[in-house]
Homo-oligomer: A and B are copies of this chain.
Amino acid sequence: MSTSGAGAPRSEGRIVVNNTDPLKNIRVVLTRPSHPGNIGASARALKTMGLRTLHLVNPRHFPHPDADARASGARDVLQDAQVHESLAAALGGCVLAVGTSSRHRELQHDLKSARDAARELLAAAATHQVALVFGNETTGLTSVEAGLCQLWACIPANPDYASLNLAAAVQVFAYELRMACESDVVRNDAEFEPATLADVERLYEHFGQTMTATGFHDPAHPKRLMPRLRRLLARARLETEEVNILRGFLNSVDKSRR
């Protein structure tokens, strides 16, 4: 295990991608997992499908003998797992974060099936680092964590009992990623450069400041303004130049008010 910041250079910029195996550019993030057994079983699930990058955000118990036991022959994946103090840190260097959910959320834009989401992730992973994010076993992702994801995916399930075990859900998604990889349908013809999540976060921050300055946004009574804006722009999957355009406009508003 290595802690945040001890691994490959991530910081603000993009990090090195593996050009021959897109599965290597996909990190799976477990957010606040309660049961160490699920961490181990998830590591095993990933390795069986050819994935190997596991990030953990504030795991309740880790390392732990239960994690080792359930990892079976995938303890190397556990060894290399990176532990972070926030989901934002775990997403460092990524251009796309797909949140997983077993239920419908209010602001769950662009909800895709695991199969379709796997294809999108893999297409982006051909040239960039991407993340697949799982919430806590019981509570899922917080709304702040959810706001860091651009796309949502769920596993079609029995409406009367849709509660997959966390590691079982990891297995299904990892399986779909491998299946997407083995099929020839995924092609990435990205002529545009996707914005980094860090750049997009700074854009939201700037929107908040300028909207407050013009009197449109009241941080004391925020209502649903910022989540709605996040939802809108997340759907668009912003490119670097588009972030620059929007920030340029906000700068011009700031200046023209002085």
Contact = CB atoms under 8 A, between A and B. Distances in A.
A168 B115 contact: no
A44 interface: yes
A162 interface: yes
A11 interface: no
Contacts of A172: 171-172, 175
Interface size class of A (residues with CB under 8 A): 35 or more
A162 B215 contact: no
How many identical chains are in the complex? 2
Given A215-B255, A236-B236, A257-B256, A165 B228 contact: no
A17 B155 CA distance: 27
Contacts of A178: 156-158
Interface of A: 41, 44-45, 47-50, 70, 72-74, 104, 110-113, 115-116, 154-158, 161-165, 167-168, 171-172, 175, 178-179, 182, 185-186, 188-189, 211, 213-216, 225, 228-229, 232-233, 235-239, 241-242, 245, 248-249, 251-253, 255-257
